[in-house]
């Protein structure tokens, strides 16, 4: 058993045992460990990538939201403005229409009043006429109750005709 001379026995055992250890460890340890490490590394890398993506997406969504909000605000302002102007328009229109109707109603009322007035005057006129006729008749009857007065009247008429 010299220091620098390899012994055949130890060479034999070292070869056999090392090969066994290598085979056992390679199959039962290094293979599953290497694949597990790889799985974990890819999982971590994927997760990090996914997180990065999610962050980016989040920022994008936030930006989109901001934009949408801005747009919504503008839309709202626009709608409010429009509504206001529409309301004003309606008010204006209503006012105009009302005045037209009122005018027409006034005019109609005036016409009706005028008609009524005319009719009333007509009635008054005819009433006055019939009243005057009645009065005249009564007066005539009073005056012409004797012959002399009748003759006087006829003469008077005649005179008048002659003049004509």
Partner 1 sequence: MDRKKFYTRFKALKISLLAGFVFIISTGSLKAAADPASEGDHGSFNPGALIDHHIKDSHSWEITHGVTVPLPIIVYSEEKGLDIFMSSNFQNEHHEPVPYKGYVMDHDHITLEGGAHVLDFSITKNVLFLFINSIILILLFMAVAKSYKKDPLKAPKGLQSFFEPIIIFVRDDIVKPNIGPKYERYLPYMLTLFFFIWFGNMLGLLPGAANLTGNIAVTMVLAVFSWVITVSTGNRAYWSHIFDPLGSSMGWGGKFFLYLILWPIEIIGIFTKPFSLMIRLFANITAGHVIILSILSLTFIAESFAVGILSAVFATVMNMLELFVAILQAYVFTLLSSMYFGEAVQEVEHH
Residue 23 C-beta: closest distance to partner 1, Å: 9
**Given the complex with partner 1, which of 29 and 69 has the nearer CB atom?**
29
Classify residue 144 as exposed, middle or buried by CB count within 10 Å of its CB (0-12, 13-18, 19+).
middle
Residues 9-48 that bind partner 1 (CB under 8 A): 9-15, 17-18, 20-22, 24-26, 28-37, 39-40, 43
Token representation of residue 42: 């890819």
Instruction: Find the Cα–Cα–Cα–Cα dihedral 51, 54, 56, 61, rounded to 10°.
Output: -160
Residues contacting partner 1: total by CB under 8 A: 36
Alpha-helical segments (H) within the chain: 8-25, 31-143, 147-163
**Given the complex with partner 1, which of 11 and 74 has the nearer CB atom?**
11
Q: Is 143 within 8 Å of 149 (Cβ atoms)?
A: yes
Longest dimension (CA), the chain: 204
**Given the complex with partner 1, which of 9 and 160 has the nearer CB atom?**
9
Residue 61 C-beta: closest distance to partner 1, Å: 29
Residues 41-80 that bind partner 1 (CB under 8 A): 43
Residue 17 C-beta: closest distance to partner 1, Å: 5
Q: Which residues fall within 8 angstroms of residue 19, CB to CB, at 6 or more apart?
A: none
Q: Which residue carries 């590394």 as its tokens?
A: 41
Between CA 153 and CA 139 the distance in angstroms is: 13
Residue 48 C-beta: closest distance to partner 1, Å: 14
Residue 60 C-beta: closest distance to partner 1, Å: 29
**Given the complex with partner 1, which of 15 and 98 has the nearer CB atom?**
15
Which residues contact partner 1 (rule: CB under 8 A)?
1-15, 17-18, 20-22, 24-26, 28-37, 39-40, 43
């Amino acid at each position: 058993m010299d220091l620098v001379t390899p012994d055949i026995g130890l060479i034999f055992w070292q070869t056999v045992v090392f090969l066994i250890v290598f085979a056992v460890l390679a199959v039962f340890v290094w293979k599953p460990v290497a694949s597990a490490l790889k799985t974990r590394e890819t999982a971590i890398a994927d997760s990090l990538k996914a997180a990065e993506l999610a962050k980016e997406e989040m920022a994008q969504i936030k930006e989109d939201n901001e934009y949408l909000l801005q747009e919504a605000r503008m839309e709202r302002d626009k709608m409010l403005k429009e509504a206001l102007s529409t309301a004003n328009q309606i008010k204006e229109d209503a006012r105009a229409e009302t005045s037209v109707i009122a005018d027409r109603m006034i005019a109609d009322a005036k016409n009706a009043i005028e008609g009524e007035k005319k009719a009333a005057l007509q009635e008054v006129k005819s009433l006055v006429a019939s009243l005057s006729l009645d009065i005249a008749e009564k007066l005539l009857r009073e005056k012409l109750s004797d012959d002399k007065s009748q003759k006087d009247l006829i003469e008077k008429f005649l005179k008048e005709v002659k003049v004509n």
